[in-house]
A and B are shown apart, each in its own frame.
Chain A
Amino acid sequence: MGTARMFGPRRVEKPVLQRIAGLNWGVVLANVLLAAAGFAMLYSVANGTWDPWASRQMLRFGVALMVMLVIAVIDIRYWMAIAYPAWFLGIMLLVAVELVGDTGMGGRRWLDIGFMRLQPSELVKIATVMALARYFHGRNYFQSRSLRSLLVPLLLLIIPLALVVRQPDLGTALMIVVGGVAVMFLAGVPAWLFVVSGVAITAAIPVAWQFLRDYQRDRILTFIDPESDPLGAGYQIAQSKIAIGSGGTTGKGFLEGTQSHLNFLPEMKTDFIFTALVEEFGLMGAAIVLALYGIVLGYGLLMGIGCRNQFGRLLASGLAVSLFLYVLINVGMVMGLLPVVGVPLPLISYGGSAMLTWMVAYGLILSVSTHRHVTIAPKGSGII
């Protein structure tokens, strides 16, 4: 297979049914299995009842799964066409949140639009990656390496970042940065730039410290020395570690977790659900879950290698890195490796926002996969 055949102009437009059939059902199944692990744990932490969490979570997942499959079969050129508008809409909504949003966890994050509460930062996470992928799709190898073409991507990144930090939502900010930086890195921005930025940011940490809210500082301080505050913020980490450690190799058994059932674990249906899982299913159960995440996200990251358009490549990989960060932060947090930043474990934690974000993002990854043979002109597809 020569480069001419690989990159030659070729449009493949399969019928919808064929596209559905062509989906990678293996990774879809992996996603379902992860969600199922979540249902089981929600059933467990509710002391063996479907209500109120597990049943609702299943309903949500059902809807989210449909959303994912629909997104997956929609043509990638369509997604490319709405990349900038989606980013713009996300920014508008963030501004709206800033003005009229509801408060939760010490910051403004939700927008109440009547029938549901919208979390614009979730949309922004995806839209930022889309917009950056769109931008670099239109830049060739040399353009991608020039410093001048960094101006637009930095704006695309910094504007949402600034708005999210203002809320303040450290977890989301981190994910936006990592997703965006991953796209830039994959697009070919010179490696030394990342090294220099890394050094600069490290140097800027003391300055950034000044801008953190008290509870954010506490979390970081507690992370550094959890024993200093065993009854306050450190309590969560300490109890989480006890739960994980006491699970041992094979766990205490389903519904037998003492730390979770006796409420020693904080936030166990949301941020600390992985802890409850390890307590009941042990190292083995945790390894299986981590392996599933590895498979699902490894696929997303590497699938771009077989994709014929730069937008798809960057989108899939950028989203995969972004989603991986979710998992990394949450699991690292509950095991005491990272500060408690309040990031849920997507698919498993109770809650709609993270799940929807994950499924939409993964729908896009699948769409890239479905349309990997589609080639798109640098200026866009022209289908809209």
Chain B
Amino acid sequence: MREGLRYQTFSRRALLLAGFQGLALAALGARLYYLSVVNGEKYRLRADKNRISIRLIAPERGEIFDRNGEKLATNTQDLRVLLVPEQTDQLQPTLKKVQEIIEIDDRRLARIERRIKRQRQFVPVTLAQGLDWQTFSRLNVEIPRLPGVQTDAGLSRLYPGGNSIAHLIGYMSSPDDEDVAKSPLYQLPGFKVGRQGLERRYEPQLRGASGTRRVEVNAVGREIRELPPREEAARGGDLHLTLDMALQRYVFDQLGEEAAGVVVLDVANGDVLAMASSPGYDPNEFTRGISNANWQSLLKDPRSPLLNKSVSGQYPPGSTIKMIVALAALEQGLISADSTYFCNGKHRLGDHTFHCWQNRGHGKMDMMQAVANSCDVYFYKIAEQLDIDLIADMAKRFGLGATFGVGVGGEKEGLVPTRDWKRIYQQRSWQLGETLNVAIGQGAMLATPLQLAVMTARLATGMAVVPRLVSGDHDVAAFFPALDVNPFHLATVQRTMAMVMEPGGTAHDYARKKSAIAQAGKTGTAQVRRITLEERAGDGGVIDNAELPWKSRDHALFVGYAPVEAPKIAVSVVVQHGGGGSSVAAPLARKIMDFTLAEKPKPSTPVDQV
């Protein structure tokens, strides 16, 4: 009886619990239905959003060519070794083992460790790049023992021209925060940005456009596979330069160890055939990541290898300015080509004596002789009658004080002093003595080798030649407007420049007599120190450059064009603290002009529209 009651109770209650179980299962089923059928579409979208990620494809960078199609900047296979922090069990021992095979200096190691800490653990970090095949294959053999280490052949920038062209091209380096804000491409591992020179100026064109691909990613963002379709990246546009690499290399070699800037222009169309700055540096080293020691030595070198002297170096033009002064005087009708002045070695103005470089004087000089001999006294006398603003105006017409935007960056304006300039920047009024100094290219006036080359090209043609380094930056020659100068006066000045190279001229012995082609030019020797009266009066007279410390020596300058009768090229040479314009700059310019004309540069490559 009791057992029966107990049994009944149990059965009743067991059925009740079974009912509850059934209800609970039904509730689970209903929830399932709600999630997967009622809201199925919503969750499907969310699952896709989880797993599909849009990734950028890095474009191949455009190349840079010279006028003959020689590659100045190209992309090469770069053998690299990468580390995926996530896949290595122990970071430090792995790094140590890698270091047994390749050298990683402390600074780089610190940078690597910083990166590993900062970025997500599945993003590879570059341990070393630019490996040679031997090291690369040794690493590949060791890979099984090095968890997380990968080898990879990517693209990296190569500058076959190396030192000779560093200042024009620039280099590539890792993007900074500012770059990253400009384009998401810069976030890609290993993607670099152009620094300095053309690489920087033409970055948007060279870089190209990113492509996109859809990838399936896992929860931590690692890529699992690619899902079509893929939008390929657009390769960057190539850059064709007017430069003649053979000439550039020749010029650079000729400069040797000197601190110098040289520009060679095609006077017909302003093509920059060569633009050299010495000493150079290896842009490849910068792209790879320069070592601290090398960087310091570049910074400390008194010859400032990092400076592009051809556009950023500003020098007193010295006697190369004399054509401008002569032209200004001719245009003012103050003198004619036949006007003569007597040079006794010095010129007095008030209580100050201005000296000619030729201490004993040149005697009676007309304009031809004065330019050929670079007589200073002759130009003091002209300058006395000329207003500084007239000289400045003429200088500006010939391109001094201007920048041309050739694209290499760092172009300086130089300085063409005027009365206003003096008033504004020095709060004083102009003194006549200063005009005399400017007339021989000393004083405040400064010019860059590029400006001097433009000046020479304009003197040679009478056209407002504008230089260009990138083909297609402006249209061809014929459209340069004529300068507002009397052609007869210009012809006179051209004749004086030819005389410089003739027997008796300052450059004859050093240059013309060794050349087969008739050249015209002007030497310049720019003083960088003050010569005291005592020194002049002393036993040895003015101290010879060779006996002075390098920093105190004169700058040697030469500007010239050739051939005399039908000018094709113009050249400017500035050798910083090089000594005399005749002995140092003129021979260099002569060789460069000879080489250029012997080369017969082809017309620049058909314009690649950008």
Q: Which residues of A are at the interface with B, using a C-beta cutoff of 8 A? A: 3, 7, 140-142, 144, 182, 185-188, 239, 241-249, 258-259, 261-264, 278, 282-283, 286-287, 290, 293-294, 297-298, 301-302, 304-305, 310, 313-314, 317, 321, 324, 328, 331-332, 335-337
Contact = CB atoms under 8 A, between A and B. Distances in A.
B15 interface: yes
Chain B's interface size range is 35 or more
A38 to B, nearest CB: 18
B360 interface: no
B35 A244 contact: yes
Contacts of B39: 245
Given A141-B2, A249-B36, A305-B11, A337 B21 contact: no
Given A264-B50, A305-B11, A286 B32 contact: yes
Given A182-B17, A244-B36, A293-B25, 14 more contacts: A140-B3, A140-B6, A186-B10, A186-B13, A188-B6, A248-B40, A248-B44, A249-B36, A258-B47, A258-B48, A290-B25, A301-B14, A301-B21, A313-B14
A138 B595 CA distance: 120
Contacts of A314: 10
Contacts of A241: 35, 43
A337 B35 CA distance: 11
Contact of B28 (A185, A186, A258, A331): A331
B459 to A, nearest CB: 72
Contacts of A282: 36
Interface of B: 2-7, 9-11, 13-15, 17-18, 21-22, 24-25, 27-29, 31-33, 35-37, 39-40, 42-44, 46-48, 50-51, 216-220, 224
A332 to B, nearest CB: 7
Contacts of B42: 245
Contact of A264 (B13, B32, B44, B51): B51
Contacts of B9: 141, 186, 188
Contacts of A248: 36-37, 40, 44
A301 B31 CA distance: 24
Contacts of B28: 290, 328, 331-332, 335, 337
A310 B10 contact: yes
Contact of A305 (B14, B40, B44, B47): B14
A181 B13 CA distance: 12
5 contacts: A249-B36, A282-B36, A283-B33, A304-B14, A335-B32
9 closest A-B pairs by CB = A245-B43, A246-B47, A262-B218, A263-B219, A141-B5, A140-B2, A245-B35, A246-B43, A188-B9
B40 A249 contact: yes
B46 A246 contact: yes
B36 A245 contact: yes
A259 B18 contact: no
Contacts of A324: 21, 24
Contacts of B218: 261-264
Contacts of B15: 302, 305
A82 to B, nearest CB: 23
A304 B6 CA distance: 12
B50 A141 contact: no
A245 B14 contact: no
Contact of A258 (B3, B13, B50): B50
A267 B218 CA distance: 15
A141 B17 contact: no
B50 A242 contact: yes
B18 A301 contact: yes
Contact of A262 (B4, B21, B33, B219): B219
B50 A262 contact: yes
A174 to B, nearest CB: 14
Nearest to A145: B9
A187 B48 CA distance: 52
Contacts of B6: 140-141, 144, 187-188, 310
B10 A242 contact: no
Given A7-B4, A246-B47, A249-B37, A263 B220 contact: yes
Contacts of A337: 27-28, 31
B237 to A, nearest CB: 39
A274 B22 CA distance: 19
A262 B36 CA distance: 20
A328 B17 CA distance: 14
A369 B29 CA distance: 29
B44 to A, nearest CB: 4
Contacts of A293: 25
A313 B32 CA distance: 33
B2 A321 contact: no
A303 B301 CA distance: 97
Contact of B29 (A182, A290, A328): A290
A286 B28 CA distance: 10
Nearest to B9: A188
Nearest to A298: B18
A242 B46 contact: yes
A249 B25 CA distance: 18
Contacts of B27: 337
A10 B598 CA distance: 127
A321 B35 contact: no
Contacts of A244: 32, 35-36, 43
Contacts of B36: 244-249, 278, 282-283, 286
Contacts of B21: 294, 297-298, 301, 321, 324
A313 B47 CA distance: 47
A239 B43 CA distance: 9
A324 B50 CA distance: 34
Instruction: Kindly name the residue among B9, B27, B51 whose own CB sees the greatest number of chain A CB atoms within 10 A.
Output: B9
Contacts of B5: 141, 188
Contacts of B3: 7, 140-141, 310
A185 B29 contact: no
Contacts of A304: 10, 14
A258 B14 CA distance: 42
Contacts of B51: 258-259, 262, 264
A258 B43 CA distance: 12
Contacts of A261: 218, 224
Nearest to A241: B35
Contacts of A245: 35-36, 39-40, 42-44, 46-47
B14 A264 contact: no
B47 to A, nearest CB: 4
A336 B28 CA distance: 10
Nearest to A331: B28
A336 B31 CA distance: 9
A243 B47 contact: yes
A341 to B, nearest CB: 16
Given A245-B36, A262-B219, A185 B4 contact: no
A328 B43 contact: no
Contacts of A242: 43, 46-47, 50
A313 B10 contact: yes
B285 to A, nearest CB: 43
Contacts of B48: 258
Nearest to A283: B36
Nearest to B50: A264
Contacts of B50: 239, 242, 258-259, 262, 264
B40 A188 contact: no
Nearest to A309: B3
A317 to B, nearest CB: 5
Nearest to A324: B21
A179 B561 CA distance: 107
A283 B28 CA distance: 11
A277 to B, nearest CB: 11
B8 to A, nearest CB: 9
A53 B43 CA distance: 28
A243 B46 CA distance: 9
